[in-house]
Structure 1
Amino acid sequence: LTNYLLFFIFVGIVVNGLINISISTIEKRYELNSSLTGLISASYDIAFCLLSLFVSYLGERGHKPRWLAFSAFMLGLGSLVFSLPHFSSGKYQYGGKIEDTCQTAETTFANATCRASTNSPLRKYLYVFILGQLLLGVGGTPLYTLGTSFIDDSVPKHKSSLYIGVGYAMSLLGPAIGYVLGGQLLQVYIDIQIPKRQDRTYTKVDQDDPRWLGAWWIGFLACFFAIWLLIIPFSCFPKHLPGTAKIQAEKIPETHDGGGQILVETNDIGQSFKDFPMALLILLRNPVLMSLIVASSSEALVATGFATFLPKFIENQFGKSSSFSATLGGLVLIPGAALGQVISGVLVSKRKMDCKGIIKFMIGTCSVALILNTVFLFAKCGNEPFAGVSETYNGTGTLYNLTAPCNANCRCLRSIYYPVCGSDEVQYFSPCFAGCTTYLFNNMKKTYHNCSCIGKSKRGNGLEDFLYEAVPGKCPTQCKFLPLFLTFFFFAVVFTFMATTPTTVAILRCVPDKQRSFALGVQLLFLRLLGTIPGPILFGVAIDNSCTLWDIDECETKGACWVYDNERMAYLLMGISAACKIVTIIFVVMAVYFYKPPPLTKALRQKTSEKISAIH
Structure 2
Amino acid sequence: MSVSGTTFASQDSGAKTMKTTPPFHPKISPSVEAETMAPDPVAADVVVSKTSAHTAAGDLGLTEPDKGQACGWSRFRPACLQCCNNANGVLFFLCMFSFTQGVIVNGLVNVSITSIETRFELPSSNTGIVSASYDIAFVVLALFVTFHAGQGNSKPKWLAFGSFSLGLGALIYSLPHFSTGPYVYGTGQTETCDVGGNSTSQDCSSGDTAGSGLRNYLYVFILGQLLHGVGGTPLYTLGTTFLDENVERSNSWVYIGLFFAASALGPAAGYLIGGQFLNIYTDIDIGRNGSELTEADPRWVGAWWIGFLMCTLLAWSITIPLLGYPKELPGAAEIKANKESEAHAKGGVDVASQPDFGKSWRDFPMAIKILLCNPTFMFVSLAGAFEGFLTSGLATFGPKFVEMQFSQTSGWAAMLCGFVVVPGAAGGNILGGVIMKFFKLKCRGMLRLCIILGGVCLALYLVFLVQCPNIPFAGVTQRYTNGSMDPLVSGLNLSSQCNTDCYCQEEFYTPTCGADGMQYFSPCHAGCTVLTDTDGTKRYDNCTCIWYDSVASLAETLEGKCDSTCGTMPLFLAVFFVIMLLTFANNPLATGATLRVVPDNQRSFALGVQNIVGRLVGVIPGPIITGAILDSACLLWGESCGQTGACLVYDNQHMGYGFLALMLSAKALATILYVMAYVSYKPPPSVGMVKTMTQTTLTRMDSTAEIAVVST
TM-score by length of 2: 0.78
Distance of 2:533 and 2:140 partners within structure 1? 58
For 1:222, the equivalent position in structure 2 comes to 310
Matches within 5 A, 1:385-404: 385-394=472-481, 395=484, 396-398=486-488, 399-404=491-496
The letter for the 2-side match of 1:359 is L
Distance of 1:358 and 1:412 partners within structure 2? 61
Distance of 2:192 and 2:227 partners within structure 1? 47
The letter for the 2-side match of 1:405 is Q
Matches within 5 A, 1:86-125: 86-87=177-178, 96=187, 98-104=189-195, 107=198, 109-110=200-201, 113-119=203-209, 120-121=211-212, 124-125=216-217
User: Closer, same or farther in 2 for the Cα pair 1:443/1:64, shift >3 Å?
Assistant: closer
Tell me the SS of whatever aligns to 2:365: helix
Tell me the SS of whatever aligns to 1:447: strand
User: Closer, same or farther in 2 for the Cα pair 1:457/1:50, shift >3 Å?
Assistant: farther
Distance of 1:4 and 1:581 partners within structure 2? 30
- Contact 1:397–1:405 (Cα < 8 Å) also in 2: no
Tell me the SS of whatever aligns to 2:668: helix
Q: Percent identity?
A: 47
- The alignment of Structure 1 onto Structure 2 pairs a total of residues equal to 591
Q: Does 1:436 align with 2:508?
A: no
Tell me the SS of whatever aligns to 2:353: helix
For 1:613, the equivalent position in structure 2 comes to none
For 2:149, the equivalent position in structure 1 comes to 59
For 2:447, the equivalent position in structure 1 comes to 359
The letter for the 1-side match of 2:169 is G
TM-aligned CA deviation for residue 370 of structure 1: 1.5
Q: Does 1:140 align with 2:140?
A: no
- Contact 2:340–2:686 (Cα < 8 Å) also in 1: no
TM-aligned CA deviation for residue 74 of structure 1: 1.1
TM-aligned CA deviation for residue 593 of structure 1: 0.7
For 2:632, the equivalent position in structure 1 comes to 545
More moved, 557-566 vs 147-156: 557-566
Distance of 2:449 and 2:676 partners within structure 1? 14
User: Closer, same or farther in 2 for the Cα pair 1:421/1:314, shift >3 Å?
Assistant: same
TM-aligned CA deviation for residue 190 of structure 1: 4.2
Which of 290, 301, 304 pairs up with 2:392?
A: 304
Which of 162, 168, 171 pairs up with 1:77?
A: 168
TM-aligned CA deviation for residue 308 of structure 1: 1.8
For 1:564, the equivalent position in structure 2 comes to 650
- Contact 1:21–1:308 (Cα < 8 Å) also in 2: no
Tell me the SS of whatever aligns to 2:203: helix
Q: What are the Cα deviations for residues 262-304 of structure 1, in whole angstroms up to 9, with x where unaligned?
A: 1123483201011100011001000000000000000001111
Q: Does 1:247 align with 2:339?
A: no
- Contact 2:475–2:493 (Cα < 8 Å) also in 1: yes
TM-aligned CA deviation for residue 125 of structure 1: 4.5
The letter for the 2-side match of 1:329 is C
Tell me the SS of whatever aligns to 2:648: strand
Tell me the SS of whatever aligns to 1:432: coil
TM-aligned CA deviation for residue 307 of structure 1: 1.4
Which of 555, 568, 592 pairs up with 2:678?
A: 592
- Contact 1:35–1:540 (Cα < 8 Å) also in 2: no
Distance of 1:382 and 1:32 partners within structure 2? 33
For 2:85, the equivalent position in structure 1 comes to none
Distance of 1:471 and 1:270 partners within structure 2? 68
Distance of 1:582 and 1:211 partners within structure 2? 43
For 2:600, the equivalent position in structure 1 comes to 513
Q: Does 1:344 align with 2:432?
A: yes
Distance of 1:573 and 1:127 partners within structure 2? 33
TM-aligned CA deviation for residue 189 of structure 1: 3.9
Which of 404, 407, 414 pairs up with 1:326?
A: 414
Q: Which has the higher contact order (CA 8 A, sep 6+)?
A: 1
User: Closer, same or farther in 2 for the Cα pair 1:343/1:237, shift >3 Å?
Assistant: same
User: Closer, same or farther in 2 for the Cα pair 1:146/1:98, shift >3 Å?
Assistant: closer
Distance of 1:315 and 1:407 partners within structure 2? 28
- Contact 1:22–1:182 (Cα < 8 Å) also in 2: yes
Which of 590, 603, 606 pairs up with 1:503?
A: 590
Distance of 1:411 and 1:142 partners within structure 2? 57
Distance of 2:549 and 2:689 partners within structure 1? 80
The letter for the 2-side match of 1:548 is L
Distance of 1:125 and 1:385 partners within structure 2? 41
More moved, 445-454 vs 584-593: 445-454
Distance of 2:272 and 2:521 partners within structure 1? 31
- Contact 2:277–2:306 (Cα < 8 Å) also in 1: yes
Q: What are the Cα deviations for residues 245-270 of structure 1, in whole angstroms up to 9, with x where unaligned?
A: 11111111111010500112348320
The letter for the 2-side match of 1:328 is L
For 1:481, the equivalent position in structure 2 comes to 568
User: Closer, same or farther in 2 for the Cα pair 1:514/1:144, shift >3 Å?
Assistant: same
Which of 574, 577, 597 pairs up with 2:660?
A: 574
TM-score by length of 1: 0.90
Q: What are the Cα deviations for residues 508-556 of structure 1, in whole angstroms up to 9, with x where unaligned?
A: 0101111111110110110110111111222222223322222212x30
The gaps in structure 1 that reach 5 residues or longer are: 198-204, 609-616
Q: What are the Cα deviations for residues 390-427 of structure 1, in whole angstroms up to 9, with x where unaligned?
A: 12212224232211222222221112322221111111
Which of 282, 286, 289 pairs up with 2:374?
A: 286
The letter for the 2-side match of 1:498 is A
Over aligned residue pairs, what C-alpha RMSD do you find?
Answer: 2.5
Tell me the SS of whatever aligns to 1:382: coil
- Contact 1:546–1:565 (Cα < 8 Å) also in 2: yes
The letter for the 2-side match of 1:65 is P
Q: Does 1:265 align with 2:353?
A: yes
Tell me the SS of whatever aligns to 2:237: helix
Distance of 2:536 and 2:106 partners within structure 1? 39
More moved, 121-130 vs 53-62: 121-130
TM-aligned CA deviation for residue 132 of structure 1: 2.1
TM-aligned CA deviation for residue 106 of structure 1: 5.4
Q: Does 1:408 align with 2:470?
A: no
The letter for the 2-side match of 1:69 is A
Q: What are the Cα deviations for residues 548-584 of structure 1, in whole angstroms up to 9, with x where unaligned?
A: 222212x302223322222222222222111110000
- Contact 1:363–1:585 (Cα < 8 Å) also in 2: yes
- Contact 2:515–2:552 (Cα < 8 Å) also in 1: no
State which structure, 1 or 2, has the greater radius of gyration over its C-alpha atoms.
Answer: 2
- Contact 2:349–2:599 (Cα < 8 Å) also in 1: yes
For 1:195, the equivalent position in structure 2 comes to 290
Q: What are the Cα deviations for residues 57-88 of structure 1, in whole angstroms up to 9, with x where unaligned?
A: 00122111111111011111221233344445
Q: Does 1:454 align with 2:541?
A: no
Distance of 1:89 and 1:323 partners within structure 2? 28
For 2:8, the equivalent position in structure 1 comes to none
User: Closer, same or farther in 2 for the Cα pair 1:35/1:482, shift >3 Å?
Assistant: farther
More moved, 119-128 vs 336-345: 119-128
Distance of 1:585 and 1:32 partners within structure 2? 39
User: Closer, same or farther in 2 for the Cα pair 1:598/1:390, shift >3 Å?
Assistant: same
More moved, 248-257 vs 448-457: 448-457
The letter for the 2-side match of 1:500 is N
User: Closer, same or farther in 2 for the Cα pair 1:315/1:84, shift >3 Å?
Assistant: farther
User: Closer, same or farther in 2 for the Cα pair 1:588/1:458, shift >3 Å?
Assistant: farther
Distance of 1:93 and 1:411 partners within structure 2? 26
- Contact 1:185–1:216 (Cα < 8 Å) also in 2: yes
The letter for the 2-side match of 1:581 is K
The letter for the 1-side match of 2:172 is V
